[in-house]
Structure 1
């Protein structure tokens, strides 16, 4: 295996839609030097920016494991885009939520930071992203999420409480990724691709054209440009 660094900008793609699309369409290539537990990295160029994408790292422990490996392999920025269920909000799916804080209803974050209720997007990154999306027509709202380890234990009572608190969505990685980023001093940005309203309809996981791949990559490009500058 060659000793080759990964791209400066890397994406966690828990659903695997992006990596499957790149492999099927032939628009990316498999990174020959990526060595991480049960994963492959596909590399694609978007707007002159090389982006590495790792698929299927589902859940907080796995996502943080991969993020740690990305950092030591050369990534300067990790962007997580996961599908999520909408809890509150009037927008019509699919759309994106830039997660500014995540409720810590998982176990991994406690291994990185002291116990607490929330994990947060770093203030410096939040400031840089304030106007990142309006110019390219991508629909992104800012909000909070609920990170769970147990999607089948999202009880009606818990969902009602999350809605009362104005939580936008539920997902499985953000709280741990932000805790890791805070502890390690790494650049991590988490977005939720809101595809469903808690999986109550047959089309609830529909992401739109091409499974949302191109718009997701456009979001990553906008995030990277805002934080790292133009390629």
Structure 2
């Protein structure tokens, strides 16, 4: 077994952040279109990541979402839906940092201009009983993907211009939208009591699985990404994971639409 005590651990080694990648999202999309006989078609300018898949399932059930037959990603399905005067693309079940960024790369390579992530999260600080939302302003980088995009730092940050643009955007919604920092982890079933206590002591509000990597990608690539945590549980206590009306999709969609109207 290799001893790493005399050098950096692999996740920090051989990261050349200023160099272009040899493998680009456009390469994958090009070959997928060739192999599947798909047309070259842009995705909507505003796209949504729906890690739990609740919103996609609800939109499909209500007959409001239409599958995009020309979405060329090998690993996901994209639906389109319209809310008022806005068209959205949405990808469901994009769980975890690496998968979220893989899909984000391909969405932006396909015409996306704004990406909104709405993920479920576990409560760290008991601000109020779940469910409620958090606009994630910064995310602790306790995952691997962000280190491929940016040099090591403790947190990934939401762009300051996006924070300013969303000021007052959620007034009047049924569920509150709080603001603060979260803990992004790759290993939800390794959230030990001591780890939870340490993260809570840092003032982190919730734990989720995507935001740190998505914000690192956004900063490195100059893309517009905003992440929300829908706090729905208290680390698996009995009676947890109650999200609200229609599995939380009514309120989640309201937050997404309010954000899109401010940021479009």
> Per the shorter chain, which TM-score range?
over 0.9
1:45 counterpart = 2:82: yes
Deviation at 1:199, TM superposition (A): 1.1
Determine helix, strand or coil for the equivalent of 2:229.
strand
1:221 counterpart = 2:262: no
Q: Determine which structure has more spread, i.e. the larger CA radius of gyration.
A: 2
Distance 1:138 1:8, change over 3 A: farther
TM-score, L = length of structure 1: 0.95
Partner of 1:198: 235
1:6–1:33 contact (8 Å) kept in structure 2: no
Matching residue of 2:158 = 121
Query: 1:111-190 alignment to 2 at 5 Å?
Result: 111-190=148-227
Q: What's the offset of the Cα at 1:135?
A: 3.9
Q: How many residues align?
A: 227
Inter-CA distance 151–112: structure 2 relative to 1 (3 Å threshold): same
Where do 4+ consecutive residues of structure 1 move more than 2 Å? 135-138
TM norm structure 2: 0.83
What are the ranges of 5 or more consecutive residues in structure 1 without an aligned counterpart?
A: none
Q: Deviations over 1:57-97 (max 9, x none)?
A: 11000000000001011111000000010000321211100
User: In the alignment, is the contact (CA less than 8 A) between 1:46 and 1:217 conserved in 2?
Assistant: no
Counterpart in the other structure of 2:39: 2
Structure 2 unaligned segments of length 5 or more: list them: 1-37
Higher mean C-alpha displacement, 173-182 vs 126-135: 126-135
Give the match for residue 124 of structure 2: 87
Q: Which stretch shifts more, 174-183 or 16-25?
A: 16-25
